[in-house]
Amino acid sequence: MITERELELLRAEQKKFMPNRCSVRRRSFVGGEESYVPSFVMEDQQCRLTPGFGIWRQIADRFQGITAYTVTLPYGSDIRAGDELVDEESRTYQVRDSLSPKTYETAVRALLDLVTD
């Protein structure tokens, strides 16, 4: 069994291997003319972006290329499906889904699609 102190040490060690910086933006419903307003949930957060394999999907008789990514954020980070992640080079990613937490979680991981290059 792992103690809470050992988990904290693992989480601190894992943060050393997060070389990228990113911000997470979430759209909140406010009503009225401007129904959804984007606001930053996290700004200038350590992360690690890992590219996956490109895929193609068909939309209205056309094929669209999608580059999938995985982001790893420090433990306790708030990220949900539908959020937007912006990296230090101002590229925008759409959060497809966050991976479910597991026992002894040391980081938060989510699946992303590259929106702007």
Taking the C-alpha atoms of residue 50 and residue 48, their distance in angstroms, rounded to an integer, is 6
List, in order, residues 6 or more apart from 14 with CB less than 8 Å away. Answer: 74, 106, 107
- Residue-wise pLDDT for 64-97, tens only, equals 667 789 999 999 898 999 899 999 999 999 999 8
Q: Is the pLDDT of residue 111 over 70?
A: yes
Every domain of the chain and the residues it spans: 4-114
Structure letter (DSSP) for residue 34: S
Write the single-letter amino acid at 30: V
Lowest pLDDT segment from 10-14, 37-41, 73-77, 112-116: 37-41
- Residue-wise pLDDT for 25-54, tens only, equals 987 766 666 666 667 888 999 999 998 876
pTM, full prediction: 0.78
- Residue-wise pLDDT for 47-69, tens only, equals 999 988 766 666 676 666 677 89
Q: How confident is the model at residue 5 (pLDDT cuts 50, 70, 90)?
A: very high
Taking the C-alpha atoms of residue 58 and residue 37, their distance in angstroms, rounded to an integer, is 30
CATH class held by domain 4-114: mainly beta
User: How many helical (H) and strand (E) elements, i.e. helices and strands, does the chain have?
Assistant: 1, 6
